[in-house]
Structure 1
Amino acid sequence: MNPTPSRRAALALLLALGSLATAHAQSDKPLRLIVPLAAGSTVDAVARAIAPGFGKATGHPIVVENIVGAGGIPGTTQVVKAPKDGLTLGMISSNHVINPGIYKTVPYDSLKDITPIAVLATVPLVLVVNPALPVANLKELLAYAKANPGKLNYGSAGNGSTLHLAGELLISETGIDMKHVPYRGTGPLITDLIGGQVQLGFVSISQVGPQVKAGALRALAVSTPARSAALPDVPTVAQAGVPQYGFDAWIALIGPAGLPKAIVDSDYAAVKAALASPEAQTAMAAQGLTILDKGPELAPAFFQSELAKHQKLVKQSGATLD
């Protein structure tokens, strides 16, 4: 008797997971998962959420290691220089494709020196304004900005940050004139948004959701092509009147260049299994993330297009960090 399609799919998954131990030799050794950002960041939260399931699927104990500084360059450098045995991987963010434009020297090629394994999730951003600003929606904001050129200040988490580039893309698509105010992180930015020192900015939904619900900030639009489940009543920027706009930060799993295909494929199967766990799903939802399914076949093209897009925005912004 031939197995049913559902039984065939289940068998295929079991065979894929069963091959992980073969692809990952010496399974008693720990797998080092480098997060080139601070503990407590969104990327760090994702790494720790999937670590238990990822470790179970690969047969390795997972050690999440934070190596911070210079937009993630020191941590990513350790990933690209690691042996090609699959025991050192990296959990990176959009900074990876921004850094070549804002740093004069990056000690690796952002495309050639990595092996993309999976793009795990996107981080929706929301455009918020201080409630004292007399605008109720994005169209009114754009009209206000055009009537008052150069008078609006938009804040970000720093020069060349994703929050900065999200604002630059809005300027590019609409022709409005706003002044950029860089902060040292999102904490001070949110404080000054609420206080009115800056009038608007793009911030990740997880970081300002409570302030939006409390009325301390007004949400005008989300940056992603589709609405966010975390703010279902807030339209996208495209829906709100800027049809070509689309911007989101993202999180991806990479290894050093030349990682054997067997390891890449098994890691992709393992991370998919980890993301499907209730614990990971809950953690991702709490961060306001949208889970993606871009594996080793789709991830390289994604990296190429994101590098081109972000480098164009960096050049437009004139941002530099050294």
Structure 2
Amino acid sequence: MNTTICTSRRALLAASLVGGIIPAKLLAEEAPWPKARTLRILNGFTAGSATDVVARAVAPALAEALGAHSIIVDNKPGAGGSIAAGMLVAAPSDGYTFLVTSSAHAINPSFYPRLAYDTLRDITAVGPIGSSMFIMVTSPSKKFHSVKDVVEAAKQQPGKLNYGSGGVGSGSHLNSAKLVVTTGMDVVHVPFKGTTEALSDTVAGRMDWMFAPIPAAVSLIKSGRLRALAVGPSERSAILPDVPSMSEAGFPAASYSSWVGMFASSKTPAPILEKASAALAQVVAQPALREQLFKMGTEPMSMNAAQFNRFVRDEVAAMATLVRATGIKVND
């Protein structure tokens, strides 16, 4: 009597069906990605930061669109998000680890020459989520009611005023540095581990001012815990329409906007990248999520992965120019 041994997964699955038993491992291998598993989004910034609140807003809808069991947002703050980016590159390129980060991703190559990864070679775009303006804020306990008030006070007391940031090279740092360079102020920079900590010290009056992404500061402004001085660069924010733009305040070249996007290891299989990119675009286009992002002060962005990769490449070059112009170094 001849016996045939079935070695293919399909044959094994058929045999298991006849026996009424389907091994769990076999089902997982047959199911398409993400196989109803949990995905992880690395976030290089602190809880409550602009990038964090955007990532957490997107995660549930993205899990549903992909058919994943869930998506967890894993905060790994530090070094402008480069720690989380390095973890992404070191993780298995199997589609279960992603990165949500901000425009700091494009700034980091200019600050950290020994990054554990190549920003453009090792990491690829899944797609953009949104952009937001930075807003200059101060504590209501301070005497400042305009950008001009800050500049004049700084010039009257050289080296006495300070400003906080989410870290050296962060968007909040570069915005303040642009203002310092364009006005010739002599002030002290106090970098924090993240925007959340910097905002806390600004609310408490320990910092004279800071620039923060609107999503991170809007609730503090609306509750009266922070005073908004100006929003940049050239237009008012629809969510805070009474706050003048930096241009209106008389400082048109003193700020820039930020963005948030989702990334993966460049070694991730193309079919997974395509599916993730399509799902993210679908989620960002949902009216309910767009409204949620808008209320946070984030304007949804619409680009495919290839377009966003080109955008990031251009941003890396633009940020290098900005860093040279401000003269910022890692030890600032």
TM-score (norm 1): 0.77
Q: Which moves more between the two structures, 143-152 or 110-119?
A: 143-152
Q: Which residue of 2 aligns with 1:202?
A: 211
SS in 1 for 2:305: coil
Contact 2:158 2:186 in 1 (8 A): yes
2:305 aligned with 1:296: yes
CA distance in 2, matches of 1:83, 1:193: 40
CA distance in 2, matches of 1:140, 1:84: 51
Tell me how large the CA RMSD over aligned residues is.
Answer: 3.1
- Unaligned stretches of 5+ residues in structure 1: 1-23
Q: Residue 213 of structure 1: CA displacement?
A: 3.7
1:242 to 241, 248, 251: 251
Q: 1:53 to 1:188 in 2, by over 3 A?
A: closer
Q: Residue 202 of structure 1: CA displacement?
A: 1.0
Q: Which moves more between the two structures, 112-121 or 306-315?
A: 306-315
Q: Which residue of 1 aligns with 2:86?
A: 77
2:35 aligned with 1:28: yes
Q: Which residue of 2 aligns with 1:55?
A: 63
2:260 aligned with 1:230: no
1:255 to 252, 264, 268: 264
Which structure has the larger Rg over C-alpha atoms? 2
Contact 2:56 2:73 in 1 (8 A): no
- Unaligned stretches of 5+ residues in structure 2: 1-30
CA deviation string 1:183-212 (max 9, x = no partner): 344444334334433221112334433443
Percent of aligned pairs sharing the same letter? 32
Q: Residue 66 of structure 1: CA displacement?
A: 0.9
Q: Which moves more between the two structures, 195-204 or 27-36?
A: 27-36
Whichever residue aligns with residue 151 of structure 1, its letter is K
Whichever residue aligns with residue 66 of structure 1, its letter is D
CA distance in 2, matches of 1:97, 1:121: 15
Contact 2:78 2:193 in 1 (8 A): no
Q: How many residues align?
A: 298
CA distance in 2, matches of 1:161, 1:299: 20
Q: Residue 109 of structure 1: CA displacement?
A: 0.4
Q: Which residue of 1 aligns with 2:145?
A: 136
CA distance in 1, matches of 2:173, 2:272: 36
Q: Residue 35 of structure 1: CA displacement?
A: 1.7
With a CA cutoff of 8 Å and minimum separation of 6, indicate the structure with the bigger relative contact order.
1
SS in 2 for 1:297: helix
Q: 1:172 to 1:31 in 2, by over 3 A?
A: farther
CA distance in 2, matches of 1:99, 1:247: 16
CA distance in 1, matches of 2:234, 2:275: 30
